[in-house]
Chains A and B, each alone.
Chain A
């Protein structure tokens, strides 16, 4: 059988983030408005495989997905040691802005899920003029810990098994099993302590309090979409966030915490109108 080649190009590139050399992997496809996609905690850019293959989107958007440092095919920064990874708000913003500057992208749209859905709120607060629009998937202003995340990185528990088990439950029972399995598989492949290190941002450092009121939707349009089965960032929490900003939110049926990966077909039904509106 002849190989059906996908329109995705993979790239490696070197640049500095906060003065430290990094080697980063990213994938892209399509032409037009840059659409930079941010993956969830403990996973990598493969979560956006459906977007990178969606003909309708690729006609008008240049979809770009990078693996965060320590994730996927991106290397750890120089002089790193296992067990010392902790994502801070400041470093997360730096890597996104450095990547965008490094690729010389002008007024991109940035879409992030989970931790990515949180960081777009920080981008909206600090750099609204830099973006054409921001899209938050599974966005919430803060998250109080509801389980002991130390289980995600301890030497007497297989990290891949437990991270996969956590991710599995965050998906909708109605999502296709194959897509759910692949989404979980990405989690099973993460490095030791990386998911936990990302959650430091998600559950502690990246929590936004009253600062959320600084978001001005007229400076940069914000769109919020949340899956109904997500219990990490619930639709109710996104609604509360949307009310504070003064915008509408979309509750996506039949999906959970990883809409673009666990049920791409359902997710694209919700994303297409948003991208049409931005365009």
Chain B
């Protein structure tokens, strides 16, 4: 579901500039599946799919698969269009050290939105 984050680096050159000093590793969970995502200088350098025995990460975003699918629609419905909107509906949980996420909030929003079908891609 989130494997293709690594496949779009070419298209995300502008996005990488927004996070050029960011090096981190975070996890996205759909409850049943987990994805460990590595970022170096704003580029996604690795996406590893679980299950994991002892995963190490800085922060974690957890929502059900269904909620992530709604978020990834080409034109998501109100309440599913943004990770803070999902937080507000209590369908997404932020955990861990949130500093990398909050200090690069727009970057992470656009990174995840880049997985939406191209016609409504929100990259700047």
Count of residues in A whose CB is under 8 Å from the partner chain: 25
* Contact status A157-B102, CB under 8 Å: yes
Separation of A164 and B85 alpha carbons in the complex (Å):
15
Separation of A147 and B81 alpha carbons in the complex (Å):
16
Instruction: Answer whether A147 and B106 are a contact pair too, CB < 8 Å, given A156-B99, A231-B78, A231-B89.
Output: no
* Contact status A169-B109, CB under 8 Å: yes
- B56 at interface, CB cutoff 8 A: no
Say which residue of A156, A164, A166, A168 sits within 8 Å of B103 (CB atoms): A156
Count of residues in B whose CB is under 8 Å from the partner chain: 24
| Shortest Cβ gap from A108 to chain B (Å) | 32
* Contact status B106-A157, CB under 8 Å: no
* Contact status B75-A174, CB under 8 Å: yes
* Contact status A229-B103, CB under 8 Å: no
Q: Mark A81-106, 1 if CB is under 8 A from B, else 0.
A: 00000000000000000000000000
Query: Residues of B contacting A168 with CB < 8 Å?
Result: 82, 106, 109
| Shortest Cβ gap from A165 to chain B (Å) | 3
- A181 at interface, CB cutoff 8 A: yes
Query: Residues of A contacting B124 with CB < 8 Å?
Result: 177, 181
A169: nearest residue on chain B (CB-CB)?
B82
* Contact status A146-B88, CB under 8 Å: yes
> Chain A contact residues: over half helix, strand or loop, or mixed?
loop
- A24 at interface, CB cutoff 8 A: no
Query: Residues of B contacting A181 with CB < 8 Å?
Result: 124
* Contact status B122-A157, CB under 8 Å: no
B110: nearest residue on chain A (CB-CB)?
A168
Query: Residues of B contacting A151 with CB < 8 Å?
Result: 98, 102
* Contact status B81-A169, CB under 8 Å: yes
Query: Residues of A contacting B83 with CB < 8 Å?
Result: 169
> Chain B contact residues: over half helix, strand or loop, or mixed?
helix
Query: Residues of A contacting B98 with CB < 8 Å?
Result: 151
- A63 at interface, CB cutoff 8 A: no
- A124 at interface, CB cutoff 8 A: no
| Shortest Cβ gap from A193 to chain B (Å) | 15
Query: Residues of A contacting B88 with CB < 8 Å?
Result: 146-147, 231-232
Q: Mark A163-199, 1 if CB is under 8 A from B, else 0.
A: 0111011101110010001001000000000000000
Query: Residues of B contacting A172 with CB < 8 Å?
Result: 78, 81
Q: Which residues of B58-112 have CB atoms within 8 Å of chain A's CB atoms? A: 75-76, 78-79, 81-85, 87-89, 98-99, 102-107, 109
B73: nearest residue on chain A (CB-CB)?
A173
B122: nearest residue on chain A (CB-CB)?
A173
* Contact status A161-B85, CB under 8 Å: no
| Shortest Cβ gap from B74 to chain A (Å) | 9
| Shortest Cβ gap from A224 to chain B (Å) | 17
Query: Residues of B contacting A162 with CB < 8 Å?
Result: 102-103, 105
Instruction: Answer whether A147 and B87 are a contact pair too, CB < 8 Å, given A161-B103, A229-B81.
Output: yes
B74: nearest residue on chain A (CB-CB)?
A173
Instruction: Answer whether A231 and B84 are a contact pair too, CB < 8 Å, given A173-B120, A181-B124.
Output: yes
In order of increasing CB-CB distance, the 3 nearest A-B pairs are A165-B105, A169-B82, A165-B106
A-B contact pairs, 9 of them (CB 8 A): A151-B102, A161-B103, A161-B104, A161-B105, A165-B104, A170-B82, A177-B122, A229-B81, A231-B89
15 other A-B residue contacts (CB within 8 Å) besides A157-B99, A168-B109 = A146-B84, A147-B87, A151-B98, A151-B102, A157-B102, A161-B106, A162-B105, A165-B105, A165-B107, A169-B109, A173-B81, A173-B122, A177-B122, A231-B78, A231-B88
